[in-house]
Amino acid sequence: MTTAIDIDHLVIKHGKHEHPEAGACVMEVVSMLAGEPWSDNPQCVDPVIAAFARRLNDAFGDDDEGRSAAFRPIVRKLMGTRGSQALMRRRMFAAADAAVRVFAPLALDARKQPKLAQQLRDVPEITNKATAIRARDIVREVRAAAHAAHAAAHAAHAAAYAADAAHAAAHAAHAAHAAADAYADAYADADRLAAHRAARREVLAHGITVLEKLCAMKGGKAA
């Protein structure tokens, strides 16, 4: 059973909330839409997607307008994504791949280190444990050369934790957050708040694209 909610005018908030009257993050909205008990971890959502979405939700900070505009078009796509363990693992590796080949390079670009960024973009796609370990080792080398850039650090963790779905997804979203911070700091101008928000939104849009990709991945149903 689903619940009718006016998605077009929905304001999606930062953090976890005790009840709807206090606000709702994207996952709490999904729990309402799905007719489930109030929660930021609804059972109808794949754990990898839920972990990534929660962290991406909070990466917008106090920008409720940007967060709401980004999530409204895809909130229903999150519903019914829970599937088999094999599908969850595929999504887990895809999240780690995004951390390494999308978000960490964006942060390095913002720090004017295009060669290191390209080194990560050239990493073979992460699709299994072996490619995750290889990517982790390359990211650690880049991280050292980049003086411990936060996004690279989280990318390394995402690859290292690729055997744990929730950790891989959370670190992937942390990498998106760190990339958004780096990008905002690099491109802020005199109107600092507006510039920060615009830059963050631009980077976090990549996170929304990754989230849509995770939702579109298909496989067996949950047992």
pLDDT tens digit sequence for 28-60: 999 999 999 999 999 999 999 998 899 899 988
Residue 14 lies in a domain: yes
- For the record, the structure tokens of 40 come out as 């930021």
Residue 222 lies in a domain: no
Query: How many independent structural domains does the chain possess?
Result: 1
CB 144 within 8 A of CB 131: no
What is the C-alpha to C-alpha distance for residues 9 and 80, in angstroms, rounded to an integer? Answer: 23
Of residues 177 and 87, more confidently modeled: 87
Q: Is residue 25 part of a domain?
A: yes
Rounded to 5 degrees, what are φ and ψ at 16?
-100, 145
**Whole domain around residue 178: which residue ranges?**
7-216
Residue 2 within a domain: no
Domain contains 182: yes
pLDDT by residue (tens digit) across 155-191?
656 666 554 445 666 667 767 767 677 766 665 554 5
pLDDT in tens, 117-135: 899 999 999 998 888 888 8
- Higher-scoring residue by pLDDT: 98, 144: 98
The DSSP line for 14-56 is: SS--SSGGG---HHHHHHHHTTPPS-SS-TTS-HHHHHHHHHH
d(CA 64, CA 78): 19
Tokens of 212: 């849509």
**92 is a domain residue:** yes
Flag whether 128 is in a domain: yes
Length reported for the chain: 223
Question: Does some domain include residue 141?
Answer: yes
User: Whole-prediction pTM value?
Assistant: 0.85
